[in-house]
Structure 1
Amino acid sequence: MSRMFVALVPPPGVLEEVIRAVAPLRDAWPDLTWIEPANWHITLAFLGEVPEGARPDLNARLARAARHHEPLPLALGAAGTFTGRGGVSVLWLGVREPGRLARLAGSVAAGARRAGVGQPDGRPYRAHFTLVRSRKGVELGPLAAALSTFESAFWTADHAQLFVSHLGPPLRYEAVETYPLGKQAVR
């Protein structure tokens, strides 16, 4: 069994923009749990523990879901915070142009459920790009305010990826499959 999720990863140029924007904040707030740039992504669907025997059907269904959605323009935008499960505080960047992304996430989640993996959590999909997780009850509002005007360049998301979580330490995500979006997938 492997702990898995499906996500989009912005291209290196956009990731560099984020690195530059958060560098002074990382320096000023070193005690927070900052997500390492190698692990940055926009989650489409969390799948949880996936049995090896489910992988072939899962891959086929995720590839089919991706083919039904054309590549889409996305950009990262202003930061926000929320309190997640277990009281974990999260600092994130928003995703600009999220409407089509939510439809893609719904298709991916439905494909996973049809393959017998993934669990609906009952909450509507909310696209975000996590920067910090903190269990310490730290008020992250000042960090969100510092990133309130951030806007990355747009890029075209043209594929989704299936990741395995290696819980570590250190935490590491490994891309194990790629699913091209839209017509390009059937060349």
Structure 2
Amino acid sequence: MRLFIAIQLPETIVDCFLETISDWKDHGVTGTWTKPVNFHITAAFLGEQPESSLPVIKKILQEVPFFAMDLKIAAVGNFKDLYYAQITDLQNNPCKLLTDYVYQLRKALQEAGFVLDQRFKAHVTMARRLKNPDHYSLTVPEQTFHVDQVCLYQSVLSSQGPTYTILDRFPAAAKISK
């Protein structure tokens, strides 16, 4: 099973991304667009794991406290050919609550024997391999949203792209807004 842990986005944010992508397309921008059902913020990518690892992963997700928080879509950025919406706290700073959670989660997963990449940047992938012949300014409208759970996802790859399925949801331990 190909697994990852992520934050599912509310429909209002998905709609915002769809409007943004539509605007980009209207201005001649092309690329491989992320399917709306696949928008998320990855906390930890676990890769291929045996089904027998699910109880260990779920136990860690139950034990590492995830706190409710407010996040903001702040800007557009890119990693080589991957274009993303940057996620920050409400003051456009890296979100300390989210960063602290991801650090604790990854530490617990690594102590349990999982191998993870060490990079984390709060973002939502919008597209890959963008071509912007008219150099249209790629922006996203600033939007805030509330997060009160983290999810364990399965990813199935196919020639039509990945399909993500939520296997389990883990609600916030407390509601804290920063």
Q: Is the 8 A contact 1:81 1:141 kept in 2?
A: no
| Structure 2, unaligned runs of 5 or more | 90-94
Identify the residue that residue 182 of structure 1 maps to in structure 2.
173
Of residues 89, 97, 101 in structure 2, which corresponds to 1:104? Answer: 101
Identify the residue that residue 29 of structure 2 maps to in structure 1.
29
Alignment of 1:1-187 (within 5 A): 2-27=1-26, 28-30=28-30, 32-65=31-64, 68-83=65-80, 89-97=81-89, 98-119=95-116, 121-123=117-119, 125-134=120-129, 138=131, 142=135, 145-147=137-139, 150-152=141-143, 154-170=144-160, 171-183=162-174
Q: Deviations over 1:124-179 (max 9, x none)?
A: x2111111112x8x569946x321x5211x22211000111110132211110111
TM-score normalised by structure 1 residue count: 0.81
Question: Which structure carries more helix by proportion?
Answer: 1
Identity within the alignment, %: 24
Partners of 2:133 and 2:113 lie apart in 1 by 37
Q: Is the 8 A contact 1:77 1:94 kept in 2?
A: yes
Instruction: Identify if the C-alpha distance between structure 1 residues 76 and 129 changes in structure 2 by more than 3 Å, giving closer, same or farther.
Output: same
| Structure 1, unaligned runs of 5 or more | 84-88
Instruction: Identify if the C-alpha distance between structure 1 residues 150 and 3 changes in structure 2 by more than 3 Å, giving closer, same or farther.
Output: same
Question: Which structure carries more strand by proportion?
Answer: 2
TM-score normalised by structure 2 residue count: 0.84
Partners of 1:4 and 1:63 lie apart in 2 by 17
Local SS of the residue matching 2:113: coil
Local SS of the residue matching 2:21: helix
Identify the residue that residue 86 of structure 1 maps to in structure 2.
none
Instruction: Identify if the C-alpha distance between structure 1 residues 71 and 104 changes in structure 2 by more than 3 Å, giving closer, same or farther.
Output: same
Q: Return the letter of the residue paired with 1:126.
A: K
Number of residue pairs aligned between Structure 1 and Structure 2: 168
Divergent runs of 4+, >6 A: none
